[in-house]
A and B are shown apart, each in its own frame.
Chain A
Amino acid sequence: MSIQEVELVIIGSGPAGYTAAMYAARAELAPVVIAGSVTAGGALMTTTEVENFPGFVEGVQGPALMESMRAQAERFGACILLDDATRVDLDGHVKTIETGAGEIFHARAVILAMGSAYRKLGLADEERLTGRGVSWCATCDGFFFREQEIVVVGGGDSAMEEALFLTRFASKVTVVHRRGEFRASKIMAQRVLDHPKIEVAWNSEVAILNGAEKLESVTLRDTVSGAEKEVTATGVFVAIGHDPRSELVAGLVATDAGGFVLVDHPSTRTNIPGVFAAGDLVDHTYRQAITAAGTGCAAAQDAQHFLTALENEAVTLNETEEVFA
């Protein structure tokens, strides 16, 4: 398989990856984006309305926003590859990135923007009942639960959004949250509390998923008293947060205990020269589309400065060699 020599490879295609691609393309770095074989567009591909991305007064659908970002990056010459990075070697001046199809890229700089993946409940029957009542995408699967009773697990904005969306289909939605108040923004939490179809199980967690062929009910455990009760539910939508998708670079770049890639704030430099990181892969605090886009922009500029410095170094070396020749 032939090796392609490029300036910059960007791994990931959420708001961070595509924004980095747009900036890098405009800087004429001809970036290659390894966008993912089935994950292109990132986490926003499973959301509905994004109400808080600046510039969209009436809101915008997550997938539509991502398709626009991709088109904008491509307009300036970014090459978007619908494949997965399966192996990387980040040490030294030349970084190697291998894809699922066996393509090999040699790059002088790399931006890591793999984002995050849904956190699982960690229950015994979760895997078995996934797609049989247990879901991670309300937008995708709400339709299949018409006039049924549903449980949403979580207390953040994602959980609120899912619960509200699911009221279009479900006869009743129970939001299960392990604390006594939501972590979500005030506006989202209030909408949930005011909704006639939504009930909240405070200080509760899902202890058991019940059902042979399909989910039939969940057993909730009170996080304070430990008391258990069963709630009828044919669907459980899990929105308890995300974990960084840093497996690809585990042991290669420095991460914290949670797997988030560490960067030299306010820059996006990792501990490996020429390797930068942005978006949810780095951020355990804000995790918004706009903050991911912001750090993606920063990563592209950091990569650009790094590559320019390499160039100047090479020129200086050549000149020095000429002098001594």
Chain B
Amino acid sequence: MSTLTAVTDATFQAEVLDSEIPVVVDIWAAWCGPCRQVAPLLEQLATEYDGRVKIVKVDADQNPETVTAAGVTSIPTLGFYRDGIRTDVLIGAHPKPVMTEKIEALLA
């Protein structure tokens, strides 16, 4: 269903923190309805920003280290990373203009 790269505790450093381009990390889980609701929009954004911003997902159920490190207690939570640093966080499902604004800020 999803074409976004699945990042794990093991690959988080390489895929996110060491990434050449900014990364948006979607922390989600199979049991979370709003996570499913937001998924098609993230796919769409991944296509629109292809090559400029990487959008990846982390399954909260399988990757406790990443979840704990990010201090997540609500999902979906989107983390915005640039040069290995989390610059912004967006909690919950938000419509496209809100997400676009955050991504543009990440690129600015």
Given contacts A38-B93, A84-B95, A100-B97, contact A139 B77 (CB under 8 A): no
CB of B57 to closest CB in A, whole Å: 15
Minimal Cβ-Cβ distance residue in A for B67: A144
Interface contact B34-A38, CB-CB below 8 Å: yes
A53: Cβ under 8 A from any B Cβ: no
Cβ-defined contact, A144 with B73, below 8 A = yes
The verdict on A143 contacting B61 (CB below 8 Å), with A39-B93, A84-B95, A100-B97 known, is yes
Closest to B28 in A: A140
Residue of B nearest to A148 (CB): B73
A45 touches B34 (CB 8 A): yes
**How many residues of chain B are within 8 Å of chain A by beta carbon?**
29
A131 to B61, CA, bound (A): 17
Binds A, one of B7-15, B16-24, B37-45: B37-45
- Shortest C-beta distance, A132 to chain B (Å), equals 6
- Chain A proximity mask over B74-91: 1 for CB below 8 Å, otherwise 0: 111100000000000101
Q: How far is the CA of A229 from the CA of B73 in the complex (A)?
A: 25
Least CB separation from B31: chain A residue: A139
Task: Kindly state the separation between the CA atoms of A141 and B92 in the bound complex, as whole angstroms.
Answer: 11
Whether A131 contacts B93 by the Cβ 8 Å rule is no
Q: How far is the CA of A41 from the CA of B37 in the complex (A)?
A: 8
Cβ of A137 and Cβ of B34 under 8 Å apart?
yes
The reply on A135 being an interface residue by CB < 8 A is yes
CA distance A96 to B36 in the complex (A): 29
Residue in B31, B71, B73 whose Cβ sees the most chain A Cβ within 10 Å: B73
| Set of chain A residues within 8 Å of B94, measured between Cβ atoms | 38
